[in-house]
Amino acid sequence: MYLEQRIEQLENVTVEHGKQIEMIAAGLATLTGTVNNGFEEIRRQFARIDDKFAEHDERFERIETKLAEHDARFDRIDQQFLQVHGVLTELVTLVKNKL
């Protein structure tokens, strides 16, 4: 009789362990799905961020190009001012010499 009770207890323990394993497996499957969904969302967000960085890089390149163009224009204006200054200096010298 003792062996039959012991076997029955072991069967009950085995059934309970099986239920617990099934619960753990279901919870793990749910958690895995949740984690995978979370990682997928993070990947999408990183892709959007990468796109935004690419857009900003393009804008910065355009701004840098425009700044370089403006620098070149200012250099030309500086040269013209120097030429005008030279001409004015010569004129002032000529006028002083005639007075």
Q: How far apart are CA 76 and CA 61, in angstroms?
A: 23
Q: How far apart are CA 17 and CA 24, in angstroms?
A: 10
Q: Read off the amino acid at residue 95.
A: V
Whether residue 49 has pLDDT greater than 80: yes
Name which of 16, 9, 77 is nearest 24 in CA terms: 16
pLDDT of 47 reads 98
Q: What is the mean pLDDT of residues 54-66?
A: 97
Instruction: Look at the block and give the residue holding tokens 């967000």.
Output: 45
* pLDDT tens-place string over residues 16-43: 999 999 999 999 999 999 999 999 999 9
Whether residue 98 has pLDDT greater than 90: no
Q: How far apart are CA 85 and CA 91, in angstroms?
A: 10
* pLDDT tens-place string over residues 72-81: 999 999 999 9
Q: What is the mean pLDDT of residues 40-53?
A: 98
